[in-house]
Each structure stands twice: as C-alpha cells, then as structure tokens.
Amino acid sequence: MTTGIRPFTIDVPQAEVDDLRERLAGTRWPRELPGPEWSRGAPVDHLRELAAYWEKDYDWRRHEARLNALPQFTTEIDGLEVHFAHVRSAEPGALPLVLNHGWPNTFAEFTELIGPLTDPRAHGGDPAQAFHVVLPSVPGFGFSAAPGPGWSVEATARLYAELMRRLGYGRYGVQGGDLGAYIAPEIARAAPESVVGVYITAGLGFPTEADIPDLTPDELEQYNEIRRWSTGGLDHHALLRRGPQTFAYGWNDSPAALLGWLVHKFEEFSMAAEPLDEVIDRDLLLTNASLYWFTQSAGTSSWPMYETAEFGWPQGQDRVPTGVYAGPPAIRRLAERHNRIEHWPEGNTGRHHFVAMESPGPYADDMRAFFGTVR
C-alpha cells in the first residue's frame, strides 16, 4: 500500500449513542392516516415498534465492533476523502473484487457476503475461487466525504479505478446492484485493461416505452411487471431531484424520520410476501440506519438523484464480459444491445432488491460461477 492510505476505525462517541436513544424515546408520533397498511407510507405501529427496538435492544457497540473487524482505511483521491474496507483472502491466486453498494444503503450491505467471498473454503466453496474484497463507501455515503456539485457515477468509477491502482491491483472484477449497477459498468469503461468482468444484480435489460412495439406478448407482460414494481410506490427519484435539502432537516434531526424513510424504501424493494424483518435481518437494517444517522449522510447520499434530469435504467457496457444475477422480468436480448452477456441464470433465489443482505450464500455462489469463467 502507498503512504496515502491510512487505517480507519469506527469510533462513535458514547454521547452520540446516548443522544440517538434519547431522540428515539422522545419521538412525537403522528396520527395514523386512513387507508390500507403502507398505502400512505410506513405504518405508525410498525415504525414505533422498530424504533423502540433501536432505542432499547439494538446494540450499536456490538455491531460497531463487527464492522471494525473488517480492515478499514481512508485515502484522499482528487481532493475527496474516500473510506473503504479491504479484506484480503488467505487463498493464493485470489481475484481482487470491488463491491459497489446501493442506495439507500452503506458498506454494511455486504457484511454477510465478505466471508463467503474471501474464505470460500470455510463456506463450502472452491478455495480456487476466492476474492480479495475492496468495499468503498460511495462519496457522500457513510464515512466517505460528500462530493461537490456535478458529481456523477462516472466520477465515482474513475475514483474507484484510481483506488484499485493505488492498492496495487492491475487486474480485478467489479460487482454492483442498485446504484452500484450504474457505477460498476463505468469502472470497466474507466479501466477496461484492468477489469476482467462486471457482475450486476439485475438492472440490465429492462424494457422501456420505446421498446414496446418490438416486444413479444411474453416480453410485454414482463414489461408490465416491471412497471408495476417500479411505479407503484414512493418515487424517491422525483422527490430527491426536487427537495433533498428540505427532507434532510428531518433525516438529520429525527431518527424516527430517517428510519421511516429507509424502512419505506426497503419495504418497497421487497418482493416477498413475508414481513421485511423476516427477509432482511433487523439488526442489519438498523446498522445501516445507524451509519446514516451517526455520519449525518442521508442528505449527502441523495446526489445520484438530484444531479440527474430523469430516471433511466442502467445500460451497462461492452468493454468486458458481463454476468447478471437475476433474469426475468429483465430481457436478455435487450441487455445484449449494450453488454457482452456471458452469465444469465434464470433460477436464482432472492426475495429482495438487496439480495446480498437476504441471500448472501447463493449470491456468492453465483458470483463465483461468473468470475470463474473470466478470471
């Protein structure tokens, strides 16, 4: 490593932990609005119960220690302080891999995934398919500094390519889902000579209105399914294009407001019939919320939306091979317009948009299957 990389340890002052609990205890709860559950947003009883757990039972210090078990660092690139975890595998020949977290998430998204990737021997996998994991916090998220006006996924990708160069990695893979599905292909564009493959969690091959005339009946049904999922809830893209500063007052001052915002999106991102906390571990969800709270980054993490004119699905790239975790309702032939698809299984498990939080084992297995063909 170069001298520009400094060790980092999470160390939230006890006064801030106490303040969080006091604010949760003093929440001024609103009346429940009429309508079916979740039709007006996060239900009061549901959020009140989760906030009480956050206040009284959730152990931040335990989870802080768990995060600190991951070697973490910061480095300055182009004037921006970047936080990342860097977990090296003990296996010879391990492939370096950049994991790109999504929104509204943090590097905690991959807590359960790192073990299966870095130590497959201990998780029933092939030790020849191990990874050195590099897990950056997106600028403006968590412990990475907030970028200035005009920041983009392309700028983030160039920053990550420089980070990998600084770590001494000249050949590596990249992964991404949600926001990461936009960043990961851009890393391949920024450093095509170094990236061996891009692995995307869904997001590619989603049809748009312009594709409708050429869709088959089955594909049209898939298009309608995508529209039902993507337009039936809270349009966070539109909200964060218009007023992130306005919403940030609530997120920064009230942990209940922050929790309601995050839980609403995680609920909408679930495709399961079961309650959210049966799909994603409650403590993992609250660790994510705690990182936003303690770093005061709910507002600064909104830049992917407020710096864009309108929402568009990620297109990917054709510089290096691409693997995709989830198949339908995305359409492979549409993804192949912009990507060299070499891995597209259609039977993968997963009940949540953030599948690494819900099914880390199967997700790691599929990632190894793809990178096993390109490493």
Note down pLDDT in tens along the chain; length 375 residues: 456 999 999 999 999 999 999 999 999 999 999 998 888 999 999 999 999 999 999 999 999 999 999 999 999 999 999 999 999 999 999 999 999 999 999 999 999 999 999 999 999 999 999 999 999 999 999 999 999 999 999 999 999 999 999 999 999 999 999 999 999 999 999 999 999 999 999 889 999 889 999 999 999 988 887 777 666 678 888 889 888 999 999 999 999 999 999 999 999 999 888 999 899 999 999 999 999 999 999 999 999 998 787 788 999 999 999 999 987 778 999 999 999 999 999 888 888 999 999 999 999 999 999 999 998
The alpha-helical segments, DSSP class H, found in the chain are 14-25, 44-56, 60-68, 114-118, 153-166, 180-190, 217-231, 236-242, 244-253, 255-268, 282-295, 303-306, 332-335, 355-358, 360-371
pLDDT, position 3: 62
pLDDT, position 15: 98
pLDDT, position 1: 47
SS3 helix, strand, coil % of the chain, rounded to 5? 45, 15, 40
Instruction: Please state the separation of Cα 54 from the chain's center in Å.
Output: 22
Closest CA to 66 of 89, 90, 94, 85: 85
Report yes or no: 354 and 105 within 8 Å, Cβ to Cβ. Answer: yes
Residue 92 exposed, middle or buried by CB count within 10 Å (0-12, 13-18, 19+): exposed
CA–CA gap between residue 247 and residue 256 (Å, rounded): 13
pLDDT, position 347: 82
Hey, what domains does the chain have and what are their CATH numbers? 41-371 (3.40.50.1820)
DSSP string across 148-164: -TT--HHHHHHHHHHHH
Count CB atoms within 10 A of the CB of residue 36.
Answer: 7
Report yes or no: 127 and 48 within 8 Å, Cβ to Cβ. Answer: no
